Structure 1
Amino acid sequence: MKIFPSSSIKRLDAYTIENEPIASIDLMERAAKALTKAIAQRWDTEIPVTVFAGPGNNGGDALAVARMMAEKGYEVEVFLFNTKGELSPDCQTNKELVEMMEEVKFHEISTQFVPPTLTSRHLVIDGLFGSGLNKPLSGGFAAVVKYINSSPATILSIDVPSGLMCEENTFNVKAHIIHADVTFSLQFPKLAFLFAENTEFVGEWDILDIQLSQKGIEETETNYEMLEVEEIRSLIKPRKQFAHKGNFGHALLIAGSKGMGGASVLAARACLRSGVGLLTVHAPFCNNDILQTSIPEAIVENDTNDTCFAIPTDTDDYQAVGIGPGLGRSSETEAALLEQLEHCQSPVVLDADALNILANHHHTLTHLPKGSILTPHPKELERLVGKCQDSYERLMKACELARTAKVHIILKGAYSAIIAPEGKCYFNPTGNPGMATGGSGDVLTGVVLALLAQGYSAEEAAKIGTYIHGLAGDFAQKKQGMIGLIASDIISCLPTAWRLVSE
């Protein structure tokens, strides 16, 4: 599913109007019907509805919804803010239609606004400003937003919470943004919905299909997409009848240190559960017994150092290399990592302490093997690119790093972003907060390593691995609940996730 910037959404509306063809007022009517249906499915006619409409097309949507809800028997009161005496043509049309309805208590605000009483029983429909907003709200509109937010009413925003911009909100005034409980986005999610700091404004969000032109959507380019199961399924290679383990790659995992053997176990088990033909784990000697006992399917190669990774190993016989889980940051490990990367020709998955070490060696970052993948969480990314004010800036800096280092980046978190060197970003919808637990990232490293070793491209491995990792976490959450979920639960659910997607 594509995610468009606000400028492209306006062009898609125009394309649909011209090529369907359909009058703009009829397209607004179609959107209002979808909104009214979704609202009626959640709230019955016993709840009083107060609609706040702005002077543009978002306000026109809100007025059309008010009319349709009144026709369904809801008690509706409308406040249309027309302080400049200028309404969009479609908003004007819907204003006239609402004014004719005796069932609707209608107020047009041109100067003084006397706020209504809003109780916990009320549903507020926010239609003040939509996706066209490009600067923070101020003055009277900011005051209205503050009043709505201070009420105990349930707040539903149409398309986007008023005051929230669709992409960047770094310099927005947070006190002047609606705090929606629910947001019904029209046709597409907005990029801003995927950023952690905007959750308080967006609340629960859902997408309503208003049937914008499918041809227009296909022809319009965007750098942002949401992964979907059909795409992931299409990427997975079927296994042939006479396949053998040599067909599915030999992966090398360099992981673990004294006291951190568990990280190497988690990554190795996840790799083996993700289809790799053979796996060798290079680890300090102190972890030998742990690995041999916990993962009998893996080959263990001991480092000469007893407690950490200190001696680079030959990677010529491996199709992919994973480095980082539980690695530690000793001086011996730092030197060994830099030497290992200097001579490695196979694609590398870098995670955890490998990334933390490279934060001090930016030259190495730009000379990684072709097809390599970085898997940082936000703090690890900031060690590589510097402090970020918010998620939007973090995403932009991650895109720049992917471009300059010519690597793919999996920026981990809710809606993990897979970032390609050319600037494309794919957001992952699977996963849940129960996965915010130690070892979850090690599992992802193992899954992605297995895919690279099997011959998937870096982009394919990052997309499939992130989606499957999150899906396995969702299955684990259903079995164990969020609070009780641990990384091993994700691994145990990997076969179920693979079966669902590949079969």
Structure 2
Amino acid sequence: MKLLTAQQLARADRATLKNQHLTSDELMERVSILVFNKIHERLGGAIVPIKVFCGIGNNGGDGLAIARHMIQHGYQVEVFVTNCSKHRSKDFLYNYDLIKGVTNDWPTLLDCTDDIPEIKSGDIVIDAIFGIGLNKAIEGWMADLVTQINVSKAFIISIDMPSGLFAEKAYSKNAAIIKANHTFTFNNPKLTFFLPQTGNFAGSFEVIDIGLDPEYIQGLEPLATLITPQAAKHIYKPREKFTYKGDYGHVLVMAGSKGKMGAAVLSSTAAINAGAGKVTAYVPASGSDILQSAIVEVMTISDSGQDHLAGFNPNLQDYNLCVGPGIGLEDGVVSAFAKAIKQQSSPIVIDADALNILAQHKELMEFVPASSILTPHDGELKRLLGSWKNDIDRLKKASKFSKKHDVILVLKGSHTITVLGDHLYINDSGNPGMATAGSGDVLTGIIAAFIAQKYEPLMAAVFGVYIHGAAGDVASITYAHEGLRAGIISNFIGPAILQLFRREEPVASQIKEENY
């Protein structure tokens, strides 16, 4: 699913009007009926106070049209217009006139000096003040209104965008932004819904297909691509019947140190569970027995170092390498890591302490093979890139780093983002229970296994991230979020792949939808 900019969506609106021979008010009516139907499905005619706050642009026009349908269906609706400017859109005015036909009262005009209407905790607020056309922060009386709505404890539904939130830009400190419980967004989700600093403003969200011209949308270069179950299903490479283990690669997991051998166990186990033909763990001498006891399917090679890696002996032509979980930062480890990457030409997966070594020894980046996959959490990413101003700046810095070093970055988080140059792939699987020690080690092994199975590096990263999150989702049905451990996530890799083919999955944003 494509994520588009506000400009692209505005152009898509215009193309749709032209290609489908529609007027703008006809398109707005289509949108309002679709949104009303979604709300009506949930409320079912319940008698509950509904306050609709409308701006004077097209988002406000949507709000007026939705309010009109709600009034026609017997809902208890009050409509307020933030009448702070003389610049009203044509479609706002059209719907402002229409609503008079279904109510005895005109909508209440708030001239932005009036007292803010009382909003109670039992109310439903529909926020249709500003949409994707907003280009500056909300200020003054309007900011006070946003604050009042947010603190009211009413259930807040935003139309297309929470007012004050930009589609693909960061917001200024202390900006006034509606904090919605649920957002009905039009045609395509917005980038800021998936970023840590801004995603909470949208709450749960649902994408409503408003019928924008599909051919025009198809031709647009996306700001980012959302990886849904349907997308993951198309990436998956089924196995052929007459194959053997050698066809599915040999992963070498270079991991572990005294007290952290679990990291090597988790990465190695995940690589086996994700389908690598063979897996060998390259570990300090003290860790060999631990690996052999913990997972019998994994072979081991003992390093010359007793408690930490101190050298590197394998011929990497025989392996697909992943390196970093639990290795530490000792001088011998740095030397071993440098030796490993200098003799490797095919893409490798680099995680954890190996990323910290790269941050401390930036000269080693020139030896990292092209299309290698780096999987940092934010702390590791800051050591590589330096600090960033906000989530948008973080993505720009990651994109620049990716292009400079010809690598793929997997930015781990609630919605993990895979970065290859200017291309962003946003993951929509996973849950908060996966915020647990060792979860990243499992991801490292999964991605390495897919590279070994001859997935292109970008697809290995994107698919690996999706399956990692999906394994956590499937496991959480049994173990709950609190009961997830990294080893449990690893054991559900197979069921996560099976789930792609058992049934059509609903869009993840609908899975996370709140009931109201």
User: Which bracket does the TM-score occupy, shorter chain normalised?
Assistant: over 0.9
Q: Which residue of 2 aligns with 1:392?
A: 392
The verdict on how the C-alpha distance between 1:427 and 1:48 changes in structure 2, with shifts beyond 3 A counting, is same
Map 1:232-271 → 2, pairs under 5 A: 232-271=232-271
The verdict on how the C-alpha distance between 1:104 and 1:374 changes in structure 2, with shifts beyond 3 A counting, is farther
Map 1:49-68 → 2, pairs under 5 A: 49-68=50-69
For the 8 Å contact 1:255–1:264, the answer to whether it is kept is: yes
Map 1:98-497 → 2, pairs under 5 A: 98-102=99-103, 106-110=107-111, 112-170=113-171, 172-421=172-421, 423-497=422-496
Deviations 1:88-143 (CA, angstroms, capped at 9, x unpaired):
00000000111233255621233542322211121111111000111111122212
Deviation at 1:22, TM superposition (A): 1.3
Separation in 1 of the partners of 2:178 and 2:316? 57
The verdict on how the C-alpha distance between 1:375 and 1:110 changes in structure 2, with shifts beyond 3 A counting, is same
Q: Which residue of 2 aligns with 1:39?
A: 39
Q: What amino acid is the match of 2:370?
A: K
Separation in 2 of the partners of 1:195 and 1:419? 14
The farther-off stretch of 303-312 and 365-374 is: 365-374
The farther-off stretch of 285-294 and 33-42 is: 33-42
Matched position secondary structure for 1:251: strand
Separation in 2 of the partners of 1:112 and 1:235? 55
Deviations 1:42-91 (CA, angstroms, capped at 9, x unpaired):
33431111111111100000000110100111111111122222210000
For the 8 Å contact 1:315–1:344, the answer to whether it is kept is: no
Deviation at 1:327, TM superposition (A): 0.8
Question: Please, what is the CA RMSD of the aligned residues?
Answer: 1.5
Separation in 1 of the partners of 2:224 and 2:402? 15
Aligned residues: 501
**Sequence identity, in percent?**
38
The verdict on how the C-alpha distance between 1:22 and 1:366 changes in structure 2, with shifts beyond 3 A counting, is farther
Separation in 2 of the partners of 1:234 and 1:65? 37
Q: Which residue of 1 aligns with 2:514?
A: none
Deviation at 1:450, TM superposition (A): 0.6
Separation in 1 of the partners of 2:482 and 2:98? 51
Q: What amino acid is the match of 1:100?
A: G
The verdict on how the C-alpha distance between 1:432 and 1:104 changes in structure 2, with shifts beyond 3 A counting, is farther
Separation in 2 of the partners of 1:436 and 1:315? 35
Deviation at 1:148, TM superposition (A): 1.6
Deviation at 1:332, TM superposition (A): 0.9
Q: What amino acid is the match of 2:287?
A: N
The verdict on how the C-alpha distance between 1:446 and 1:65 changes in structure 2, with shifts beyond 3 A counting, is same
Q: What amino acid is the match of 2:14?
A: A
Deviations 1:261-289 (CA, angstroms, capped at 9, x unpaired):
11100000000011111111100011111
For the 8 Å contact 1:76–1:105, the answer to whether it is kept is: no
Q: What amino acid is the match of 1:46?
A: I
Separation in 1 of the partners of 2:372 and 2:182? 39
With the length of structure 2 as denominator, give the TM-score of the two structures. Answer: 0.94
Structure 1 segments of 4+ aligned residues over 4 angstroms from their partners: none
The verdict on how the C-alpha distance between 1:463 and 1:200 changes in structure 2, with shifts beyond 3 A counting, is closer
Matched position secondary structure for 2:31: helix
Query: Mind listing any 5+ residue stretches in structure 1 that lack a counterpart?
Result: none
Deviations 1:338-358 (CA, angstroms, capped at 9, x unpaired):
222122123110000000111
Deviations 1:478-499 (CA, angstroms, capped at 9, x unpaired):
1100011100110111111122
The verdict on how the C-alpha distance between 1:260 and 1:318 changes in structure 2, with shifts beyond 3 A counting, is same
Separation in 2 of the partners of 1:433 and 1:332? 36
Separation in 2 of the partners of 1:479 and 1:103? 54
